[in-house]
Chain A
Amino acid sequence: MRAEARIGFILLLTPLVLWLGLLIVIPHIDMLMISLRERISFGVYEPSLMQYDKALTEPLYLRTFWRTAVMSVLATAITLLIAFPVSYYIAKMARGRLQQVLFMLCLIPFYVSELVRTFGWMILLRETGLISNLLQWAGLADQPVEMLYNDAAMMVGLVYTSMLFMVVPLVTTLESLDDSVVEAGYDLGGNGLSVLREIIIPHAMPGIVSGCIVVFMLSLGNYLTPTMLGGKDSLWFTEMIYNQFIVRSNWELGAAFGFMLLVLSSVIVWGMLRLTGRTLQETMG
């Protein structure tokens, strides 16, 4: 019986170990090794910190790195601001069927691929697009308006893509808030703002933090949206990684970029948890 239980345990554990090992640990170790070497000539490599040196001194690389970080944080903040009232409405104000329908409406855009969704935005925002034509028809613009290929368009795309991942954890935590606790907040003299600040937000904090972490990571690692909606100036760090690996075949620098992104996301997530005084265990558990 004991031996059988052990075999069962091993069988259950194997896929996890294989997945972690083959897809995450081994490639990352390999990436780290690649990033820490320098190509001397064909097939000849030497250990070196040159790639990191290059990445941290070249202004374009550094600027893109920080821009990506700041824009991702901004996208996360905007997503939170939009998703919070939506989630509150779904979780606390909507009842029965309406609640289910609204939740489904948040989910439906995700039935199609991200590529198709992004093309949807391009159809709306391009020079000959729907909004441009509408503005001309209404007499608000006298020539076609180009709304694509800038930071605003990219931000719209990022927020739209991440919305669901913020709404789901928020709805879940807000649903667990007892209505009478909110009523007690008002009954004891609180107004909308103080009830929100002292009762609703502290209660929703686990959902806010986990939603923010997921959205931030998704934005930081997004490739499609910044490439398609962003302009010349909206270079995203993932695009640079792609360029190094695929266009320039410079795996060494690409691997170094990859590691910088990993460190960046870890540091920001850690900072976010520190700032809100939560542990990863509390947030994910």
Chain B
Amino acid sequence: MTPDLECVDLVKRFGDTTAVNDVSFSVPPGSFFSILGPSGCGKTTIMRMIAGFLEPTSGDIRIKGGTVLDTPPNKRPVNMVFQHLALFPMMTIADNIGYGLRRQCMAKAQIARKVDEALDRIGLPGIGARKVDELSGGQKQRVAIARCMVLEPDVLLLDEPLGALDLKLREHMKIELKALQAAFDTTFVYITHDQSEALVMSDQIAVMNAGRFEQVGTGQDLYYRPDTPFVAGFIGEANRWTGRIDRVEGATLEMRTDTGLAMRATAAQPLSKGDAAEIFVRPEAVHLAANAEALAQFENRMRGRVTSLLFNGAASRVLVQDDAGETLEVTLPQTGEFASLKRGDRVHIGWGAAQAMCFAGAA
């Protein structure tokens, strides 16, 4: 099947800086593809190149198999939902949604019918005559999507559209966006720096850093099987140690940390004895226990003292200082077992070597 969108060896340079460095990816039809990365990593540049507002320095962009490099933005079969939505404040909602259809010289009656259909689709029937500034943030969001979707684009680009919304609404819109994508059955390419947006909504996520794609995969791939230390550190929380490899036994290896601890972990990439390395352990992979026996099945065990309790409902954490003086983040189980835990308590912690990922570190 031809992918809806394909970028091949895409490069964009601004003067001496390379904003996008040799990026290739393809997005299958009807899927939700996210580009996730910190601000300034070049993700918006990619999106603007796909939309046609920037010309790539080299490489090719293909939509449904055909190159669009010579197609101006107003003729490309892609539409964009802008960061601040960019609804036209001088028009009513109906005129906003009908804008693209008017450009196609469609008959007035047909435009009106299509606009009504689109408003029904986004669950806001009968608001056509209102002004843009009379709508709430979430409603504007949906209108911005409807404005693009009436044109039936091959690909819909979304540039951090949830950034301006408050937390509660953002959580709600995540689910809604995913539902809208299923309802319109269109390929979405979504840009964000918020990992939870990407993880919740996407079929495929590309993690981007300094102009390059670090890894492309499903949310589970990125979370459980990161390819690079950047991905391991960027997606989710992680405790991290640096040190040198002491021993290698197949996929399992032992590292001596800079503070002198011995740790067992699973190699995420080939490493040999003496290499500088870095270990990542997720806070939820670390088990808390009152005594050492309960942790007997884990390869890594330590004792420590609680320095702080970070209460955040289901995502509550404990900061534990180990005997070497380093602080670890540990997820606090919500089973009631540790309800009485308080600052200064001595605890035992442990985690399996399978849950610790080891990457080559900076020498």
A184 and B80 contact, Cβ closer than 8 Å, known pairs A189-B74, A194-B103: yes
B104 x A199 contact (CB < 8 A): no
The CB with the most chain B CB atoms within 10 A, among A181, A187, A199, A202, is that of A187
A198 x B80 contact (CB < 8 A): no
A183 x B53 contact (CB < 8 A): yes
B90 x A199 contact (CB < 8 A): yes
Instruction: Say yes or no for A203: interface residue by CB 8 A criterion.
Output: yes
- List, in ascending order, chain B residues with CB within 8 A of A186's CB: 72-74
A189 x B104 contact (CB < 8 A): yes
Complex alpha-carbon distance, A62 and B80, angstroms: 58
- List, in ascending order, chain B residues with CB within 8 A of A183's CB: 51, 53, 73, 80, 82, 86
Instruction: Say yes or no for A57: interface residue by CB 8 A criterion.
Output: no
Measured between C-beta atoms, what is the minimum distance from B157 to chain A in Å?
9
- List, in ascending order, chain A residues with CB within 8 A of B84's CB: 178, 180
Mask for A169-204, Cβ within 8 A of B = 1, else 0? 000000000101101111111110010001100110
Complex alpha-carbon distance, A187 and B104, angstroms: 13
A184 x B82 contact (CB < 8 A): yes
How big is chain A's contact interface, by range? Answer: 10 to 19
Query: How many residue pairs between the two chains, A and B, have CB atoms under 8 Å in the bound complex?
Result: 63
Nearest-neighbor residue (CB-CB) of B75 within chain A = A189
Nearest-neighbor residue (CB-CB) of A183 within chain B = B53
Complex alpha-carbon distance, A199 and B83, angstroms: 18
- List, in ascending order, chain B residues with CB within 8 A of A191's CB: 74, 103
- B86 in complex: contacting residue of A181, A190, A194, CB < 8 Å: A181
Complex alpha-carbon distance, A32 and B84, angstroms: 56
Nearest-neighbor residue (CB-CB) of B80 within chain A = A187
A188 x B103 contact (CB < 8 A): yes
A202 x B79 contact (CB < 8 A): no
Measured between C-beta atoms, what is the minimum distance from A150 to chain B in Å?
41
B88 x A198 contact (CB < 8 A): yes
Interface residues, chain A, with chain B CB atoms under 8 Å away: 178, 180-181, 183-191, 194, 198-199, 202-203
Task: Pick 24 A–B contacts, CB within 8 A, sort by A.
Answer: A180-B82, A180-B86, A181-B87, A183-B53, A183-B80, A183-B82, A184-B80, A184-B86, A184-B88, A185-B88, A186-B73, A187-B51, A187-B53, A187-B80, A188-B100, A188-B103, A188-B147, A188-B148, A189-B75, A189-B104, A190-B103, A191-B74, A198-B99, A203-B90
Which 9 A-B pairs give the minimum distances between C-beta atoms? A189-B103, A188-B100, A202-B90, A184-B86, A180-B86, A180-B82, A181-B86, A186-B74, A189-B100
Since A180-B82, A185-B99, A189-B75 are in contact, a sample of 6 more A-B pairs with Cβ atoms closer than 8 Å, ordered by chain A residue number, is: A180-B86, A183-B53, A187-B53, A188-B74, A188-B148, A203-B90
